[in-house]
Amino acid sequence: MAFIDEAKFFVKAGDGGNGCVSFRREKFVPKGGPNGGDGGKGGSVIIRAVKGMHSLIDFQYRSHFKAERGEHGQGKDMHGRGGKDCIVDVPVGSVIRSVDTDQVLADLTSDGATFIAAAGGEGGMGNPHFASGTNRTPRIATNGKAGEEFWLKMELKLIADVGLVGLPNAGKSTLLSKLSAAHPKIASYPFTTLEPQLGVMQYKYHEPCIIADIPGLVAGAHEGIGLGHKFLRHIERTSVILHVLDAADENVKENYKIISNELALYKEELAHRTQILVLNKKDLLDESDIETLIIYFRLYCQNVMSISGEMGDGIDYLKETIALTLEQGKI
Ligand SMILES: Nc1nc2c(ncn2[C@@H]2O[C@H](COP(=O)(O)OP(=O)(O)O)[C@@H](O)[C@H]2O)c(=O)[nH]1
Ligand SMILES: [Mg+2]
């Protein structure tokens, strides 16, 4: 199960330029032959998949894409210049559908894959095309064809790399906003009050990654208590689990076990998934108490660190750890 990001947009290719009616004018030649140029072809709207884009968020701000029209032909056999194509970059993995028919038009699965979403109109013909033995001075030319236009919709399946877990109030939402550079808007989710939130983390030269906040985990979630159960399946495909604990909560040790148990009871293999344990809200504790907690939790998890999501303390170190952990997993 993956998250779906959706966008709807309009594409309009350029119209073709019109052909021209024109005749040669030369000294001593009263009526020269036809020399009207052809119209240029309109530009097309081309959708191109590119690596490194991870959301359709840009399409919230721009929903119309138009290519340039072709120039009209002119006298002296001057053909109109073709219109420039309009290239629309989308993330790899985008599926393009027609709004009218819902039919899948393209499934852009590889970097650099392209799809002509709207073809530019052909240019019209200048009057030389209509000259014949009986008509040496044709007064006809044709107009360019209109460029295609469509409403399209695009879907992107987002598979989170990192799942944020922790009891309510541990500081997951706050942390997600600090870790991520962008928040893809997710298509309507069947649960209205509580939705998994996604963030795209982009740190230094590392590949961007997607982090999902899995809300609503409480004791008994694996049996369907709370809404957490609905979201647990999103964790199944994440390669790293980021466990957030409120270090200032006096029950911090029990809280850790509650979440660990829920994960293991939901699926045994989740207990063995690579985990980063984050002791949050360090600003509320003494340094020595934090140190003691870190030593304690190292018995359970290799990767333990303390941060303050709210103050932004330790965030860069955490980002680097997340990025390196993901890269290590890919080797
Ligand atoms: N003192 C302190 N409070 C924090 C920190 N991070 C989050 N909080 C507060 O803890 C509460 C719960 O945070 P939230 O991000 O909504 O937790 P969530 O339920 O896990 O998503 C909010 O009032 C936050 O302002 C932190 O690092 N230090
Ligand atoms: Mg939250």
| CATH number of domain containing 16 | 2.70.210.12
Same domain, 184 and 304: yes
Taking the C-alpha atoms of residue 279 and residue 295, their distance in angstroms, rounded to an integer, is 12
Taking the C-alpha atoms of residue 237 and residue 289, their distance in angstroms, rounded to an integer, is 35
Same domain, 123 and 216: no
The answer on pLDDT for 220 being more than 90 is no
The answer on pLDDT for 86 being more than 60 is yes
Cα(307) to centroid(ligand 2), Å = 17
The answer on pLDDT for 208 being more than 70 is yes
Same domain, 180 and 322: yes
Same domain, 152 and 9: yes
Residue 284 near ligand 1, beta carbon < 6 Å? yes
pLDDT value of position 229 = 67
pLDDT value of position 191 = 43
Residue 269's CATH number: 3.40.50.300
Same domain, 8 and 66: yes
Same domain, 77 and 201: no
Residue bearing the CA closest to ligand 1, atom 19: 169
pLDDT value of position 194 = 58
Mutate which of 310, 311, 313, 315 for ligand 1 pocket (most atoms within 8 A of beta carbon): 310
Same domain, 219 and 298: yes
Residues above pLDDT 90, as percent of the chain: 66
What is the atom index within ligand 1 of the atom nearest the CA of 313?
A: 27
* Domain end point (choices 140, 156, 172): 156
Check the CA dihedral 214-219-222-223 and report its sign: negative
Residue 247 near ligand 1, beta carbon < 6 Å? no
* Domain end point (choices 101, 135, 156): 156
pLDDT value of position 193 = 46
Q: Which of 11-20, 172-181, 227-236 reaches the highest mean pLDDT?
A: 11-20
Same domain, 12 and 136: yes
- The parent domain of residue 80 ranges over 3-156
Same domain, 65 and 82: yes
Same domain, 183 and 312: yes
Mean pLDDT of the chain: 90
Same domain, 299 and 196: yes
Residue 13 near ligand 1, beta carbon < 6 Å? no
Cα(257) to centroid(ligand 2), Å = 19
* Domain end point (choices 100, 131, 156): 156
State the total domains in the chain.
2
Same domain, 38 and 134: yes
pLDDT tens per residue, range 275-319: 999 999 999 999 999 999 999 999 999 999 999 999 999 999 999
